[in-house]
Chain A
Amino acid sequence: MNRIKQLFQEKINILSIYYTAGYPNIGDTIQVAEALEKSGADMLEIGFPYSDPVADGPVIQASSKKSLDQGMTLKLLFEQLKDLRKNVTIPVLLMGYVNPVLQFGVENFCKACAEVGVDGCIVPDLPMVEYEEFYKGCFEEHNLSNVFLITPQTADERIHKIDGLTNGFIYLLSSSATTGKNLEVGDTTETYFSRIKNMNLKNPTMIGFGISDKQTFDKACSYANGAIIGTAFVRAIENGNIEERVSEFMNKFKG
C-alpha cells in the first residue's frame, strides 16, 4: 500500500514538514530527511527548486535560489534520493513547479520517483485538466499520489472535482497567500475550515501555509488530519548543525 494512505489510516494530528532539497548545503537533502524522521515528523515534502517560484514568499524563494546556485537539478536530486529509503520509512512527497518536470519528462519523472521510493507529488502550477489528460495515467502506473491545493476561494464544485482526482490528501491553504504568511485564524478562516470538514471528502486534508508553532499546529489539527510546516522550518535550519536544529525545531511540537 502507498505509504501516504497507510499513514492517514493509522494516525491523527499528522505533522508534515516541507524543506528545500540541497539546502542549506547541496549535500544535505538526505541528512535533513533522516533527522526529521528521527525527531518525529510524520511525513516529508521535499521541494525541488525552481528559478521563478511565484507561489512562494521570500524565505522559500531564497532557499530555492541558494540550492540552484549550489547546482541542484532534478537529475541530481534523484541521485541523492537513491539513499532515501535506507533510513527513512515515513511517506515522502516531492513538491515543485511544473517546468522542471516537463523538461525531465513526465514519464521519466514518475519512474524516477517510484525507483527512489517517493510516494507522491505536489505541483502547484499543474492545472487539473492537464493532470487528468496527460499525467494521471503515469502517476497511477507508478503508484504516486498527486496532491492538489484548495484555498478559501475555491468553489465547492471544484473541491469535489479535486477530491475525485486526488488519492493522497488535499492540501488546504489557510488563506490565499504566498508561503510564509502567518496564520490568523479569524471567523472567516474557521468558517472555511468547518465548511471543508463538513463536506465529507473522501480524501484526508492537511492544512498548510502559516503554521509555525504548537499553537497554530493544534488549531489546524482541530479542523483537519494534520498540518504542514514549511517556511518556519526552512528558516530554522539556515545555520548550524542540522541534526541539532531539526531536533530543536521538532521539540516545539511535542507534548
Chain B
Amino acid sequence: MKYKVNEKGYYGDFGGAYIPEMLYPNVEELRQNYLKIIDDADFQKEFHQLLKDYVGRPSPLYLAKRLSERYGANIFLKREDLNHTGAHKINNTIGQILLAEKLGKKRIIAETGAGQHGVATATVCALRNLECVIYMGEVDIERQAPNVARMKMLGAKVVPASSGSKTLKDATNEAMRDWINNPVDTHYIIGSVVGPHPYPDMVALFQSIISEETKKQLIEQTGSDQPDYVLACVGGGSNAMGMFYHFMDDENVKLIAVEAAGKGVSSGFSAATTYLGKEGVLHGSRSILMQTEDGQVVEPHSVSAGLDYPGIGPQHAHLFKTGRGQYVSITDEESLDAGLLLTQLEGIIPAIESAHALAYLEKMEFKQGENVVVCLSGRGDKDLDTYIKYFNL
C-alpha cells in the first residue's frame, strides 16, 4: 500500500486539495462518500455489469507475435482500444456517472482535450439521461471536429474554452469555473488522475480494472501474474495509473511511464513533465508541472492532444520521485513511426498517445523470454488526419 493515497489525500509529498472555498463543499462531499459508494456491493455489481455488457470488457490481452519477434521478448498488448468509444476513458466515466447518480446530481460537466474523454462522458450521459456540458479548448475544437460532432450527436453541449492557450489546461479551468458557479446539482467528471483529492484516487480506482484483468490474463497465458515490464503513456496519467495500479506493490515488476517529448525535450515544444517540470500546484493538487521560475504554468506541446498537458497526476509524481516508476519520453516523430509500425506488423492502428508507449520498446533491451505488457490505451481512428499528413498517405 505504500504507493496509495494516505488519509490526508497525499501520495508522499504530492496530492492534497488546493481549491478555493467555493469548490470545498463539492469536493468534500465526494471525499466523504466516494469510498463508501464505490465499495458498496450493488454499485460494484452495476459497474461491472456495464463494463461487461456496454463497454465490452474484459479487453483482450493480446500476445503480439510479430512485434515480439522484432524485440526478442513476449510483447503483450492490453487492448483498451477495443472498448466502446475507442479508449480506456470510458472505464472512468461509467464509474463516475453511477457515483454522480448516487449523490443525486442532475447535471454533468467535463473537460476534454482530444475529445476522447468528452465523448466518453457524453456517451454515459446519454446512457443515463443526464444533462451534459463539455468544455473544450477553441484550438482543440478546430482540430478534433469529428469528436465534437460525436459529442453533439450524443446530446452534449460543447462549450469552447477561449481563455489562455485555448487547449486542455484551459478547458479544465473553465470546467472548474462552471463547478464554482453551479455548486449544488452538478458533478464534474475529471478525465484523468489529476485534480484535488479524491479525484486522483477515484479515477485510479475506476481505471484499475485494466491491471486487475491483466493479472488474471497473464496467469492464463504465462502462468505468472508478474511480467518483467509494464509500459504506458502519460499525459495526466489515467491509463498508466490503471495499468500500474495492481503492479505497484510488486517491486520486481518494472513500471515505465512514457511522456510526450514533443519536438524534443529541449526544443521548447514539449510535454515531458518530469524532465521539464518542478514541484508545484496545478488544478487542485500538488504535483510536478511545467512552469516558469515565477510559478506560471507553461504551455506544453505534443502531436498527441491526449498527452498535451503541463502536469502529471500526484500519484505519478510520487512514483517518479521515489524511483518506483521510470519516466521517459518519446518525440512526436518517434511516436508516429511506432504507430505505423504497429499497424503494419499487427494490423492495429493505435492512438498516437498509445504509440508513445510502443515507441519506447525500440529503446529497450530485452532478455529472451521476458514478458512485457504495453497498454494500448486507444485506437487511432481519431488520429488519421495526423498520420495521413505525416506519412503523405
Contact = CB atoms under 8 A, between A and B. Distances in A.
Interface of A: 50-55, 57-58, 61, 65, 68, 73-75, 97-104, 124-127, 129-130, 148-151, 153-155, 158, 173, 176-178, 181
B20 to A, nearest CB: 4
A54 to B, nearest CB: 4
B173 interface: yes
A178 B173 CA distance: 11
Contact of B280 (A68, A103, A130, A178): A103
A55 B180 CA distance: 8
Nearest to B184: A153
28 contacts: A51-B297, A52-B164, A52-B169, A52-B297, A55-B177, A55-B180, A57-B177, A74-B294, A74-B295, A75-B294, A97-B281, A98-B281, A99-B280, A99-B291, A103-B280, A103-B293, A103-B294, A104-B295, A125-B18, A125-B281, A127-B17, A127-B18, A127-B19, A130-B18, A155-B25, A173-B22, A177-B22, A177-B180
Contacts of A57: 177
Indicate the size class of the contact surface on chain B: 35 or more
B296 interface: yes
A158 B163 CA distance: 33
Contact of B183 (A52, A129, A153): A153
A158 B297 CA distance: 31
Contacts of A155: 25
Nearest to A171: B21
Given A151-B22, A177-B181, 7 more contacts: A51-B296, A54-B20, A65-B163, A74-B294, A102-B280, A124-B20, A125-B18
Interface string B281-324: 11110000001111111000000000000000000000000000
A155 B25 CA distance: 9
B176 interface: yes
Contact of A103 (B173, B183, B283, B295): B295
Interface of B: 8, 16-22, 24-25, 163-164, 169-170, 173, 176-177, 180-181, 183-184, 278-284, 291-297
Contact of A51 (B16, B24, B25, B164): B164
Nearest to A98: B281
A158 B25 CA distance: 11
B297 to A, nearest CB: 5
Interface centre among B18, B22, B164, B173 (most CB of A within 10 A): B22
